[in-house]
Chains A and B, each alone.
Chain A
Amino acid sequence: MEKRVAVCAISQIKNDGDYWDMRFQNMLLPCLESILEQTGVTFDLDKGIRDIVTCSDDVFDARTISNNGVTDVVGAHFRGEEKMAQEGINGLGYAMASILSGHDDVVLFMGHCKESQTESRLMNTNLAFDPFYSRPLGLDFLNANAFQAREYMKKSGITDDHLAKIVVRSRKNAKKNPFARENKSVTEKEVKKSAMISDPIRELHQWPVTDWAFGMLLCCEERAKEFTNNPVWLTGFGNCMDSYFLGDKDLTSNFALKKAVEKAYAMGGIKDPKKDFGVVELKDSFAYQLPMWAEGVGIADEGKGGKWIDDGGPDEQHVNLSGGMLNGNPIILGGVARAIECVLQLRGEAGKRQVKGARCALAHGTYGAAGQHHAVLILEK
């Protein structure tokens, strides 16, 4: 791929447990205004934003055509707009394609999710299962992932101690991230004492309910300088779907993630994931997923997730310095949050958590039970 796509600007509001005083439209508006201010981009039909990609979820918004509620605050009045009804990181893959195809030169990408607004995340994710066999069993993303967690812990030597360590580290890192959800610091002992909600997943092993919104301006290589002096380039993307029934797959094989990685690495020219990335952001909705996805993207050895934690792999390879998904992002936006953190790092704007000299980063997102769908994005300075 000879052409690259530029991220010209990003904006976000702070992750919060409950924006009770704001509707999702209110959450998006400052993100839009910030993008306009940073870049000077307009909605001119020839030179400005003509097409917009959004990300939201009908079930979490409890609204059919959830993007219909945000048309005005994303500037889509009399413009094109297409909604990623999927983990938001796929929207970046699609926006990339829209620009590389030549159809668009400037794309605005915006998304929102208010997990606090919904009655129960478990009820919503139960709706992701078929109504005949799996849904009546009460399957949701928590208990389905618990099966995977148990299997993976056995395979890679992960213990309750490792999981506690991962949670404590996430909370500690998040303290250095001004956009992170404000959570109380915890000790390993507290994590190990937290309630068992779906064995082996404890309450503190799962991401907390979070509200968030973001904006991004993407642009073709030729025009990037019109909007920024400090572009970050999207150079590789891959995603992949695994099978649906839990019994149909090896829960610890990382099948879909490895396929997504293969595609993204080939496109982005990544040879050695252990050395090529200055920053890695993985969507660890549950603590066990940090080492598991690390194995999947090839920064930890297969079946050695426990040892990777013991050896300080996450710090050494700058994994989830933002606090990660585990500290709190909305379920459908965890992957975009990872990408935005990578952009900040590559631009040198990550403040206290800045990695010196990072030139290449990996952002990852996943959705579905036990990681059914994975997406991987490569970003470069």
Chain B
Amino acid sequence: MAHRKKNRNVGIIGIGQTKYSSHREDVNQPEMIHEAVRAALDDAGLSLEDIDCVVHGNMELFEMVNQPDLWHVIGTGAYGKSEFRVTTGGTVGATIACVSDNLVASGMYDIVMAIGFEKLQEGHTTGGITNMADPLWFRNLQTGALTGSTAYNVIREFGEERAKRASLMYRIIMDKHAGLNSYAHRSFGLEFEQIDDLIKNSPKLVGDLKLIEMCSQSDGACAVIFACEKKAKESLKKPVWIRDHITVHREETFTIFGYDEKYPITHTHSLAAKRLYERNNITKPLEYFDVFEMYDPASWWGLDWLRDFFLLEGDEHLKLVENKEIMIGGKMPINPSGGVIGSNPIGATALVRVAEAALQVRGDAGKHQIPTPVNHALASGFGGTMWTVLLMLEKDLNW
């Protein structure tokens, strides 16, 4: 009874993204959303009439619109349809993918469209994030993803030089991947020869977290269409199946009074991974998955979390990066899309991970397509205080 059988299978049949950019002054929020909605419908060969239900999510206080799905109906196409709005912070994009999966699997809706968006240009991102913390106790300490603690931990464990070089190596690989993705917000054309220079010269944000290692704030939207097995099999594109998903949250604050080895701060990631793999009988995740789209807000986190998500030991995760095994063509390609450091429209960011993982399974990722076959993909969301969502995508219905 621990985890029951899915009532019916659910597949992704349509994917739409806008170009991610620091400024989209040419469109308002619903217009920007509609670009992604239209692209997803075209991708699926569907029209709005085919959609039974719309699931909407973003970060409410970032643009200061209360329940923006009400206004956005102009662009989402939810008029006259069932509509849910579910949010969880940075994880929200992954959450609405899980919600859509549940809504379709339940039998209540056959075709559901998840829409994640953010127009950070119209708000104040850091102000919004600071507002997340308790006004009495923690607000002056809460900076969201802008933290130097992971850099501190990795440096302490592996030594300054190796740690800093690995973080920059990860960063440059992401930059190279982003350069292949026409939707990506940022790609600077960085080269590995620049590692030493960037370690020295990139401005520090917090501790050893440097500007070059941090994600952007972007405008953009992503829409993904989910369908029940029957409808998915009739669809234009080959469906990508959602096998399972898991969400793990943790209490209100980061561990602010120092880091105890008994309670490692990233416990949520490994706990989620462990439970998800256990119930799906996956013993060697690094061998099982062909690609991982990770919500990596900064290169230190991307680097460090590889160990949590793949349940690795010692310095295996560092070696993966140092040996460029996380590049397209490597043993475990991470974020062929360029990841979150490349584009970060927060409410859409985690849904983009799911969308990009699905594109890889379908073989439709264009220039950043992995050359080898992709049968099993993993996508993650990050948000709140080290909250995590993991989704497993499959090419075939054979598990």
Contacts and interface: CB of A to CB of B under 8 A. Distances in A.
Contact of A64 (B3, B95, B132, B251): B132
Contacts of A263: 82
Interface in A70-115: 71-72, 76-86, 90, 93-94, 96-103, 105
A94 B1 CA distance: 21
Contacts of B29: 130
Given A68-B252, A101-B101, A105-B1, A128 B106 contact: no
Contacts of A259: 80
A69 B59 CA distance: 15
A189 interface: no
Instruction: Determine the interface band of chain B, counting residues with CB < 8 A from chain A.
Output: 35 or more
B51 to A, nearest CB: 12
A83 B88 contact: yes
Interface in A118-154: 124-125, 127-132
A69 B65 contact: no
A84 B64 contact: no
A90 B252 contact: no
Nearest to A2: B107
Interface string A1-23: 10000000000000000000000
Given A241-B54, A241-B73, A81 B268 contact: no
B142 to A, nearest CB: 9
Given A83-B87, A240-B82, A244-B73, A76 B249 contact: yes
Contacts of B183: none
B16 interface: no
Contacts of B398: none
Interface stretch (B4-12, B150-158, B291-299): B4-12
B27 interface: no
A131 B65 contact: yes
B62 interface: yes
Given A67-B88, A105-B4, A243-B73, A267 B108 contact: yes
Nearest to A124: B66
A367 interface: yes
B108 A96 contact: yes
Nearest to B105: A101
Contacts of B229: none
Contacts of A98: 102, 106
B248 A78 contact: yes
B85 A128 contact: no
Interface in B57-99: 57, 59-62, 64-71, 73-74, 78-89, 95, 98-99
B28 interface: yes
B237 interface: no
A279 interface: no
Interface in B110-138: 122, 128-129, 131-135
Contact of A71 (B2, B57, B252): B252
A315 interface: no
B108 A237 contact: yes
B369 interface: no
Contacts of B57: 85
A372 B102 CA distance: 25
Contacts of A368: 67, 70
B144 to A, nearest CB: 9
B79 A132 contact: no
Contact of B71 (A68, A129, A367): A129
Contact of A239 (B1, B82, B267, B383): B82
Contacts of B133: 63
Given A82-B247, A125-B66, A368-B70, A65 B59 contact: yes
Given A103-B105, A244-B71, A84 B85 contact: yes
Majority SS at the chain B contact face: mixed
A97 B70 contact: no
Interface stretch (A31-39, A45-53, A180-188, A198-206): A45-53
A116 to B, nearest CB: 16
A166 interface: no
A54 B71 CA distance: 23
A94 B89 CA distance: 18
A124 B65 CA distance: 9
A97 B249 CA distance: 21
A295 B127 CA distance: 45
A49 B54 CA distance: 27
A100 B108 contact: yes
Given A71-B251, A80-B247, A241-B80, A63 B73 contact: no
A369 B66 CA distance: 12
A98 B197 CA distance: 50
A62 interface: yes
Given A64-B129, A83-B86, A85-B85, A127 B65 contact: yes
Contacts of A83: 86-88
Nearest to B246: A80
Nearest to B129: A64
A83 B79 CA distance: 22
A59 B66 contact: yes
B384 A68 contact: yes
A151 B137 CA distance: 49
A72 B84 CA distance: 25
- Most chain A C-beta atoms within 10 Å of own C-beta, residue among B57, B65, B383: B65
Contacts of A57: 60, 66-67
Contact of B249 (A63, A81, A90, A244): A81
Contacts of A220: 4
B250 interface: yes
B233 interface: no
A36 to B, nearest CB: 18
Contact of A90 (B68, B84, B135, B246): B84
Given A86-B69, A100-B107, A127-B65, A241 B81 contact: yes
B284 to A, nearest CB: 23
Given A97-B103, A128-B67, A238 B82 contact: yes
B131 A64 contact: yes
B78 A241 contact: yes
Contacts of B383: 65
A240 B81 contact: yes
Interface string A240-259: 11111100000000011001
Contacts of B107: 1, 100
Interface in A220-245: 220, 222-223, 237-245
A341 B17 CA distance: 43
Given A84-B84, A243-B79, A255-B80, 20 more contacts: A59-B61, A63-B132, A64-B61, A64-B131, A64-B132, A65-B88, A71-B249, A71-B384, A82-B247, A83-B86, A93-B84, A98-B102, A101-B105, A102-B6, A102-B105, A128-B65, A129-B71, A240-B80, A241-B54, A372-B73
10 contacts: A47-B2, A64-B128, A78-B248, A90-B85, A94-B84, A103-B4, A103-B6, A241-B54, A244-B73, A245-B74
Complex A-B, nearest 6 residue pairs according to Cβ-Cβ distance, in ascending order:
A80-B247, A101-B105, A100-B106, A97-B106, A58-B60, A65-B89
